[in-house]
Amino acid sequence: MKDRISIRQAGVLMVLVILSNKVLLLPSLFFERSGTDGIFSLIIAFSIEMIFLPILLKLKNKHPDKSFYEILKGCLSSAGGKIVFIALGVFMFIKALLTFSIVYVYFKQEIYQEEFLVLILFCMLPVVTHAVVSGLRALSRTIEFFFTIIVVGFFVCLSLSLFTSISFPSFFISSASSVFSSAFTYFIVFDDFLFFFIIIDKIDLKTGKSKSLYFYALLGMVMVVLLFFFFYAKYPVTAFMHDNALADLLVFSVQFSAIGRLDIVAMITIMLITLFQVEIYSFGFCKCFEEVFPPLNRKHALALFDVIFILIFTLHVGNHADIVEFAGGWFSYLALAIGIIVALVSLIICFIRRKNEKN
């Protein structure tokens, strides 16, 4: 089938979406609510997320060539499928919005020291648009090519933090209620596997063992957990003041022998991660749009995405503080609702299918 991706390419995409919105601001937000025990909030959220992966693989094995919309349409009717995909499309757009907003503030602080919103929008959106128009296969191949650079850059940032003063963080200092509430307060940052329900028909299980997706999922989660651990070890008291976790690990160690400034490693890594994440979420939005409005195509979806994206930021509707506040409010309520609906409907579909086969 056209535009299908291999198991490895799906795994690479999985690592990128797991890293999404978790390497800069999230460690600081978790620290504000539950201190260094925020790492346990992260593990709880990831444990809940892992429930989606076996459901996804079960659904894929039962309906290997059908899209998620076709599966929903057979179970919930066409109207029900459209409602779910509208919600998924909104979810994909919010993820792209949140990703760009957080990283824009980081680059404004570290590079330009002033507003350069119009410049970055008109530099980034054409690249994102071209990637989405090229298709999922071309997008995943590009990400696959840069994947090693991203992973190496990420671990280099963690390793360089060892050249500064760090101490083992103190755990079990916050109440259980604050730890559990933190895991759900910013749930919009999670729900990472929903993207793969949208592209379920594009994953070619014949190109490898589907269980290898567990490896990639665990790789992404381990990377984030290690980041949280190193970050809290470096800033056991002042973590709430540092909004750029991966980059702030290199603070006080940006000069190393004759090499010079090493914070460029974090900048390049974050830049690549962000660009690919916005492309992934933009593709997810366009895929939902095409399913809901079949007379229109991907170019119409991209035009809508770009126009809304530009308007939200240039009209100051979506300034950084508001978006972060929404992330801990109705954004996360929406993410929880969509995640529960997708999981329950998928389980019901798998159960009904198995019952029909027995009959």
Q: Which of 116-130, 138-152, 327-341 shows the highest mean pLDDT?
A: 138-152
Q: Which of 149-153, 193-197, 319-323 has the lowest mean pLDDT?
A: 319-323
Rounded Cα gap, residues 41 and 232, in angstroms: 13
pTM value is 0.92
Q: Is the backbone of residue 53 left (phi > 0), alpha (psi -120 to 50) or beta?
A: alpha
Instruction: Give the three-class secondary structure for 54.
Output: helix
Task: Check pLDDT > 60 for residue 216.
Answer: yes
Q: What percent of the chain has pLDDT over 70?
A: 92
Give pLDDT tens digits for 29-81.
999 989 999 999 999 999 999 999 999 999 998 888 889 999 998 888 888 88
Chain centre to alpha carbon of residue 211: 21
Rounded Cα gap, residues 162 and 130, in angstroms: 40
Q: What is the DSSP string of 175-232?
A: -HHHHHHHHHHTGGG--TTHHHHHTGGGB-GGGS-TTHHHHHHHHHHHHHHHHHHHHH
Do residues 95 and 188 touch, judged by C-beta distance below 8 A?
yes
Task: Check pLDDT > 90 for residue 150.
Answer: yes
309: tokens are: 């994206």
258: confidence class by pLDDT, cuts 50, 70, 90: very low
CA–CA–CA angle 14, 20, 24 (5° rounding): 145
Please report the pLDDT score of residue 257 as a whole number: 46
Rounded Cα gap, residues 235 and 261, in angstroms: 21
Residue 101, Cβ neighbours under 10 Å: how many? 21
293: tokens are: 């409005």
Do residues 250 and 267 touch, judged by C-beta distance below 8 A?
no
317: confidence class by pLDDT, cuts 50, 70, 90: low
Cα dihedral: 166, 170, 175, 176 (round 10):
90
Task: Check pLDDT > 70 for residue 212.
Answer: yes
Length of the chain: 359
Cα dihedral: 291, 292, 296, 299 (round 10):
-70
Rounded Cα gap, residues 118 and 215, in angstroms: 39
Among the listed residues 91, 74, 202, the one whose alpha carbon sits nearest the alpha carbon of residue 137: 202
359: confidence class by pLDDT, cuts 50, 70, 90: very low
Task: Check pLDDT > 60 for residue 325.
Answer: yes
259: confidence class by pLDDT, cuts 50, 70, 90: very low
Rounded Cα gap, residues 116 and 335, in angstroms: 30
Please report the pLDDT score of residue 30 as a whole number: 93
Rounded Cα gap, residues 256 and 190, in angstroms: 35
210: confidence class by pLDDT, cuts 50, 70, 90: confident
Across the chain, what does the average pLDDT equal?
87
Instruction: Give the three-class secondary structure for 294.
Output: coil
What is the crossing angle of helices 263-292 and 136-160, to 10°? 150
Residue 172, Cβ neighbours under 10 Å: how many? 10
| CATH number belonging to domain 7-358 | 1.20.1740.10
195: confidence class by pLDDT, cuts 50, 70, 90: very high
